[in-house]
Structure 1
């Protein structure tokens, strides 16, 4: 058992140090997204400049200034999620390292219970995500579509919803959550431009055009538009999903490997916990079975002379 306990300790310490580094990286990334606005905004500068140039080229739009637009405001929830995940992972790995190194029972128990809970939750989440994906996708899509209906104001919109959607659609190359129909009925989006020459009724937002208009010709988003010049049938949600978690075999393989590692962590933590309890019992038994000096002399005398004297005195 001692050999297994040593291997378990080494495995727990090494793996938890790796996960501690990952936790600190997640924490740093969350803080960077939340407070590194100058660097992150530089990534979308090209999209903002394209928006400003396109809006100013259409006579009825006027001009817009997007210099004050901060993309980190849109990513605030993501940043908070990464910060919380990084902190929790760092705390969990600390419990695992200290509990295994120092045989601290309550730390090991907390670590085992937390890992088991995470493992069960992870398996359930994976099953829902790939077995019944709409259970997760639909609640995420619903508020996104709702924000389009109530707040999207088109290419010249200056609110955070309009600018955010315009930047995403230009940068990612997509249109709406599922497709262009998500914009149908948007209350603030103007679709009729009869004053322009040629006049046009928009079918999709101008940000869905593969090349943004540079004049009063808005036909790339008109009723006769096609997929060759417009991303009308490419949803942003599915596009981003496919680019990140859409490779099912790769993601499932990674998650399955993570589950196996978590299971090994739980098993090894239990080995350390049990071996620590046995060692304490052995120490107690050793202390309880110690022979007193008087008894030792009585049982196995070391000095034959003194033993004979004792025997003579008895008679």
Structure 2
């Protein structure tokens, strides 16, 4: 066995397993995420979602059924669909690598090498931009995130945008992207009536700290005390996600190294396939030459009978 075979054979195994896992992942995402029982379990096992549900019931603005799996299944279906699309892209790339590694298909290998190299180059460019011009990146992200506020509908909202904002603001004790004024661009209902009074809200109810445990919503009618109105979520989430530079640097290095190794191995498989095709072509040509030379030879003279 050649050294190249020792390198290439494990690569085929890795590609096969990767493809199988991607197929399984897509199936799991598409099947379980829209399932009502699974959604109920996710909500009840998460302390933030449970707190939101308790606040909704305590304020009298909705029932606990609004945070049930049946009610939120459409929102979770959208999340599942986005994840499935992402898995599908990875599956397509893995399929090209698998076909190329197993069948020595040069076209598949070239496509796999190109796609993987392209993704690696994009990732490297993004990392360089983040570390050289962080303000440009953060401003772009802020602009995109602020667009989601247009669909924010308040505590009782069921769409993905509202659920996401409510979850983040409760978990990180913040309000809006920069502060409560960000919600001026949304269409959420600011005049709310409970069983005891009517309130004109200045901040979403989830910006109250602590969250109200009754139908008294005074905390959401002011921006000075009793809430997180002036505390934006962006800096908190950004520092939490990218605050540990050493950990992120190690993660980047590992990810880039794995992709680079896969590209190198794919090139080795391609070179091996190209070599085998060339050898096969040379053998075929040599065989044809032998056959033609045999046909061109003069036949042996027949022996005369005495």
Q: Do the aligned partners of 1:96 and 1:107 also contact (CA within 8 Å) in 2?
A: yes
- 1:143 maps to 147
- 2:222 maps to 223
1:272 to 269, 272, 277: 269
Structure 1 residue 139: deviation in Å? 3.6
Cα distance change of structure 1 residues 49 and 261 upon mapping to structure 2, 3 Å threshold = closer
Q: Secondary structure at the match of 1:44?
A: helix
Q: Do the aligned partners of 2:196 and 2:215 also contact (CA within 8 Å) in 1?
A: yes
- 2:55 maps to 51
- 1-structure distance, mates of 2:242, 2:80: 19
Say whether 1:121 aligns with 2:119: no
- Consecutive unaligned residues in structure 1, runs of 5 or more: 57-62, 297-315
- 2-structure distance, mates of 1:139, 1:168: 17
Q: Deviations over 1:144-187 (max 9, x none)?
A: 23334xxx3x54x5564666644553355432233222234755
Structure 1 residue 27: deviation in Å? 1.8
- 1-structure distance, mates of 2:43, 2:278: 64
- 1:93 maps to 94
- 2-structure distance, mates of 1:164, 1:223: 23
Q: Do the aligned partners of 1:44 and 1:167 also contact (CA within 8 Å) in 2?
A: no
Say whether 1:133 aligns with 2:137: yes
Q: Secondary structure at the match of 1:169?
A: helix
Aligned pair count reads 280
Q: Do the aligned partners of 1:19 and 1:89 also contact (CA within 8 Å) in 2?
A: no
- 1-structure distance, mates of 2:182, 2:57: 25
TM-score normalised over the length of structure 2: 0.71
- 1:181 maps to 181
- 1-structure distance, mates of 2:255, 2:17: 13
- 1:299 maps to none
Q: Secondary structure at the match of 1:178?
A: coil
Q: Secondary structure at the match of 1:5?
A: helix
- 1:312 maps to none
- 2:12 maps to 13
Cα distance change of structure 1 residues 176 and 74 upon mapping to structure 2, 3 Å threshold = farther
Output aligned runs, 1:169-248, within 5 Å. Answer: 169-171=169-171, 173-184=173-184, 188-190=188-190, 202-215=201-214, 217-223=216-222, 225-226=224-225, 229-244=226-241, 247-248=244-245
Q: Secondary structure at the match of 1:84?
A: helix
CA RMSD across the alignment: 3.9
Q: Deviations over 1:96-145 (max 9, x none)?
A: 23322332222212211221222222222333445432254134212123
- 1:36 maps to 35
TM-score normalised over the length of structure 1: 0.69
- Consecutive unaligned residues in structure 2, runs of 5 or more: 45-49, 295-306
- 2-structure distance, mates of 1:158, 1:103: 53
Structure 1 residue 188: deviation in Å? 4.5
Q: Secondary structure at the match of 2:63?
A: coil
- 2-structure distance, mates of 1:82, 1:74: 13
- 2:255 maps to 258
Q: Secondary structure at the match of 2:59?
A: helix
- 2-structure distance, mates of 1:37, 1:223: 38
